[in-house]
Amino acid sequence: MGYGCGVRLFSLCCLSLLVSIGCHPKDYNLLYPVQPSPEICREAEIFEWGPLRVHWIAYYPEGRDHLPAVLVHPDKDGLASDMEGTCLTLARRGYFAAAVHYQRLENLREENPLIAFKTFEEGMAGYRYLLGHPRVDPGRIGLLGFSKGGMHSLLIAAVEPTVKAVVAYYPLSDFEEWLDVSRYPFPRSLLIRGIRRHIVKDLGVSGWEEALDQLKTVSPINHVVDIQAPVLLIHGERDRKVPVRQSERLYRDLQAAGKNCELLIIPGAGHVFNFRDENQGRMAWEKTLQFLDGQLKADVSEPSSEGRLR
């Protein structure tokens, strides 16, 4: 899949998300408060992996091994520390839950660079580390990602058959469609043209068609056949940043390919809704737990969500 170049492009294209998505207030702990839990262990590490500095935070139940695990990828603004509440909530449920973000050693001034990965193996750093953790059952690992983290999770699942479940919140799945100028009215179409020019310049290619060929390699929609793990897609009905049709198309393609996939559309919700609206977020989180439990802990079940589940 040309993933070495692809991972770099994936991170590069988060620049376009940065242009498109405004910096509205988010509360990462809205649903997932960080509260003392004596029965839960916390692990925090900063280590080097090739050209990367990896920031790792994990929570897990004390005195237990061979745990089902979830690796959490934050959105474009998020750090591993912002996902502590999410990880703690999962740990209370019996998971080993870890979150990661990355710096590049050649530029440590950037806390959370948009261009974090340049090769496939770099993009897999957090997952590889989780696989080797002594408290983790390597046969029961799932991925959870938000926005760009959702796209990252889907791409890992496309190349890593050991992944057993993926939950992707409002992921960008098809760059070609998302950057199709004809889909947008004026003046938003001008913004899309500006994003395209920026990508062409950053890639150092001759024009948009050449850039598009490379962008296709990091669009999850083009790797449906390679995704073996069950997938849950969660998207806001009124997402104006990454339109819900992105997840709808990915869902249809996964279904057509015979994959195990579910789509939950949250009525009235926008982008990163789960960090802004408690009721909408809780609806999605209940389904997230139900899905992860069903794939990684077959003996646990949860009530179904009130959203539109397909």
Q: What is the pLDDT of residues 44-68, one digit of tens each?
A: 999 999 999 999 999 999 999 999 9
Tokens of 273: 């809704």
Average pLDDT over residues 63-82: 95
> Could you tell me the pLDDT band of residue 201, with boundaries at 50, 70 and 90?
confident
**Rounded to whole angstroms, what are the CA distances from 252 to 178, 180, 247?**
17, 20, 9
Check residue 118 and give its pLDDT: 74
**Residue owning tokens 């390597």:** 138
The confidence score (pLDDT) of residue 2 equals: 52
With the CA atoms of 269, 73, 99 and 276 taken in that order, what torsion angle do they form, in degrees rounded to the nearest 10? -20
Among 6-20, 89-103, 188-202, 251-265, the least confident range: 6-20
Q: Which two tokens stand for residue 247?
A: 């997840």
Confidence (pLDDT) at 188? 86
Give exposure, 130-144, as e/b (b: 16+ Cβ within 10 Å).
Answer: beebeebeeebbbbb
Residues near 218 by beta carbon (within 8 Å), at least 6 away in sequence:
6, 7, 9, 10, 13, 151, 155, 175
Asked whether residue 166 carries a pLDDT value surpassing 90, the answer given is yes
The DSSP element (H or E) to which 154 belongs, if any, is helix 148-159
pLDDT tier, 306 (very low <50, low <70, confident <90, very high otherwise): very low
Q: Is the pLDDT of residue 116 over 70?
A: yes
Mean pLDDT for 172-194 is: 92
Residue 114 has a pLDDT of: 61
Q: Is 93 buried (19+), middle (13-18) or exposed (0-12) by CB count in 10 A?
A: middle
Give mean pLDDT, residues 186-197: 90
Please name which of 208, 203, 227 lies closest in space to residue 5, comparing C-alpha atoms: 203
**What pLDDT is recorded for position 279?**
97
Of the CA atoms within 13 Å of residue 9, those in its CB half-sphere come to 25
CA 6/CA 116 separation, integer angstroms: 12
Q: Is the pLDDT of residue 8 over 80?
A: no
The total of structural domains in the chain comes to: 1
Mean pLDDT value across residues 97-109: 93
pLDDT band per the 50, 70, 90 thresholds, residue 251: very high
Averaged pLDDT of the chain: 88
Judge whether 173 and 219 are in contact, CB under 8 Å: yes
Q: Which residues of 222-251 are buried (b: 16+ CB within 10 A; e: fewer)?
A: bbbeebbbbbbbbbbeebebbbbebbbebb
Q: Among 4-18, 26-40, 189-203, 243-257, whose mean pLDDT is lowest?
A: 4-18
Higher confidence at residue 302 or residue 250?
250
Q: What CATH number is associated with residue 68?
A: 3.40.50.1820
Residue type, 197: R
Q: How confident is the model at residue 299 (pLDDT cuts 50, 70, 90)?
A: low
End-to-end Cα distance, the chain? 29
Is 117's pLDDT higher than 60?
Answer: yes
Among 86-95, 109-118, 124-133, 196-205, which stretch is predicted with the lowest mean pLDDT?
109-118
Instruction: Supply the pTM of this predicted model.
Output: 0.88
- pLDDT at position 254: 98
Which residues form the domain of 121? 3-309
